[in-house]
Structure 1
């Protein structure tokens, strides 16, 4: 199966249980707006909503449907912090700067919660995140992380979980210990995206679907202070542009493309499970993720299905039999689900950076972007939109903090990044196995 569109959402559990899937018009003719947002995922939707609330006129252009990309297909985990640990950040930027990144990560999760509450988004929001490891050698590290976050970051919502308890919490003998974080949460990602879109429209944002951007003119290269964003059948004249394309950036902006690598990840949804089996698999209804380099991650849906993500590939095509592709990862964790029916399986494309930190920045002074969330997109992309809105409004300090973290270009740029990444991923996959 290829990662292409026929004008509708992919056949996923999320699309099948979407609360509303309204159609938005295609852009035709020329319009004007203060800001043109390119991309109808979390980055673009959050930026559009926060900008509209500040009084800006906003046009949002989405090539497919709102939430069609990773924002409508992911695991729905909303975790604290950044994609890399605080110890890594401290070693790279120092304790003071690392604390700023931590606080932004906390605010990102809280922003998701606040948006869900403020706009009454029906997206199965649930509390708690459990991180588990296969390796007994990791026990001291997990204990030290909990102590470090409590002592230096005043984070009291996390505790260490020993071997006996972790196996009670996840119903699997695979794991040696874990950390249980009660501040993080999880949700139905497509319904969250659709809720953001509805809120944005109510705030005055004009959303256009089926309106793939073919290019834009740089304000720096014209006599005008405005930028012209073009689609096949229309254009937007805007003072500012927001690029929220992430893994679907393609060739739209070569100056950013080499900083990210699109990869594909896959998820399945089982048939509805009994309440007893749900409590056996995930006793406290938290999200769960393991410590493998190519992680497994899972949670229970609002109607008691196991949503399990596992496996990835690095081509433009998805596995032909995604149900069995992901099922083998699920059965390694839960062999008791051998006879459980798989109702849905789907894939999506996300973007990673070399250092796994998000890539924020600006081009030509009036073009803002954020990308490369590396599997941490629900909170980070939502926060990115908020920070972009601040920057457009003239308060760029917090945006600039995120932009200051160096993001290196993949070796070989867009041409040679793929074979290098595959070699690296195979190496770490072998480490996972042995």
Structure 2
């Protein structure tokens, strides 16, 4: 498998987010021996949320990042607050029982609240805007949104509003959709600026972050030791939060999920009149297809449009060529609009499409595989993992109790089998079945 190189990446990949980052400082590389209460591998949202929750509770936190803070999916994604999980609560209830479904339902809407609390408490400037829309491309999808509203309301989430075919044009200036569901607790933001702001928050609470300090191996024991090229961290606890960028650190963990790439473009800044026609309420949107499109306006008025999936972390030759037809299908009036940025990034897909939490021994924790629903669940993960380390493990154990299947056929078959599944669901999207 071709893997994206993350070690010693002294700058973020070229993207709109990297170009407009609030903080371009490079943290030092780990050198020598360091002790900590917890060593966190990976400075994305899972790592930063856990680090901040632990530091706020007085723990000595050290974070090791193999390249730059937010280098992976946390700094390259669509920037949308989407509640619940990639598999919704009804699926969880059906496959794992009502008790598990009820407990995961209680947590399904917490991640967004945690995210907003952090933004408010630490005054993070990340262009946070309110409201997210699920857009139905056909009547079947709209009927599913009606059921989603009932399901989420049954689990206590009341901030939902159905948009019929007459209402949806007031929110999205396209003829593509037959209706939608707006989640008023959803929203969107600049993801790289959020994770960089969270890093500042960790440091303000006494935590230490090392960049360009890839974890090469973990020595297990009463006090696990994480080794890098030039140093090591001895800690009471370790959290492995590298997600799609573990690069061979824990092969058994990596066999449980497959890295997938998603592509994003950002246009030139649009005139305000065009912004008003495209997204009059400035909400973010994702459609209801399996291989979905998602889009929103940035803080400076660009349309950020994403979609498409490549399997095995392969980079498409022309991201713009792949995404432009999708954008123009939704907004034909942008045919002469210039695209200023195009990029891709990897997320981690599990076979069940549910996140994987667990322990290796008693003191090495991991969390990964959010399957495209990471922005809220990663922030929840930080709280849940922090609570577990402090002796309140009930919620962590709910996640850890979910089956974690490896892909059939091993690593060699992950890509073709997953691509075949994506082809099947893409065909269903096109046929509306």
For residues 235-284 of structure 1, give each alpha carbon's deviation from its aligned partner in whole angstroms, at most 9, with x where no partner exists. 11111110000011231112211211100001010011112211211121
Say whether residues 1:123 and 2:119 are aligned partners. no
Residue in structure 2 matched with residue 321 of structure 1 by the alignment: 318
2:210 to 208, 211, 215: 208
Confirm or deny: 8 A CA contact 2:293 2:306 kept in the other structure.
Answer: yes
The 3-state SS of whatever aligns with 1:170 is: coil
In 1, the alpha carbon distance for the partners of 2:280 and 2:404 equals: 39
Confirm or deny: 8 A CA contact 1:331 1:337 kept in the other structure.
Answer: yes
The 3-state SS of whatever aligns with 1:129 is: strand
For residues 59-113 of structure 1, give each alpha carbon's deviation from its aligned partner in whole angstroms, at most 9, with x where no partner exists. 1100000011110000011122222222212212334432321221211110000
Residue in structure 2 matched with residue 24 of structure 1 by the alignment: 27
Q: Quote the offset at 1:2 in angstroms.
A: 8.1
Change (3 A) 1:392 1:147: closer
The 3-state SS of whatever aligns with 1:210 is: coil
In 2, the alpha carbon distance for the partners of 1:352 and 1:191 equals: 24
Say whether residues 1:298 and 2:295 are aligned partners. yes
Change (3 A) 1:84 1:30: same
Q: Quote the offset at 1:156 in angstroms.
A: 1.9
Residue in structure 1 matched with residue 182 of structure 2 by the alignment: 180
Confirm or deny: 8 A CA contact 2:225 2:232 kept in the other structure.
Answer: yes
Q: Quote the offset at 1:385 in angstroms.
A: 1.4
For residues 20-419 of structure 1, what are the structure 2 equivalents within 5 Å? 20-150=23-153, 152-219=154-221, 225-419=222-416
Q: Structure 2 length as normaliser, TM-score?
A: 0.95
| Segment drifting more, 343-352 vs 406-415 | 406-415
Confirm or deny: 8 A CA contact 2:93 2:101 kept in the other structure.
Answer: yes
In 2, the alpha carbon distance for the partners of 1:214 and 1:85 equals: 36
Q: Quote the offset at 1:4 in angstroms.
A: 3.6
**Which runs of 5 or more structure 2 residues have no equivalent in the other structure?**
none
Confirm or deny: 8 A CA contact 2:81 2:375 kept in the other structure.
Answer: yes
In 2, the alpha carbon distance for the partners of 1:137 and 1:229 equals: 50
Change (3 A) 1:30 1:10: same
Number of residues of Structure 1 aligned to a counterpart in Structure 2: 428
The 3-state SS of whatever aligns with 2:108 is: helix
The 3-state SS of whatever aligns with 2:40 is: strand
Confirm or deny: 8 A CA contact 1:257 1:414 kept in the other structure.
Answer: no
**Which runs of 5 or more structure 1 residues have no equivalent in the other structure?**
220-224
Q: CA RMSD in A?
A: 1.6
Confirm or deny: 8 A CA contact 2:132 2:183 kept in the other structure.
Answer: yes
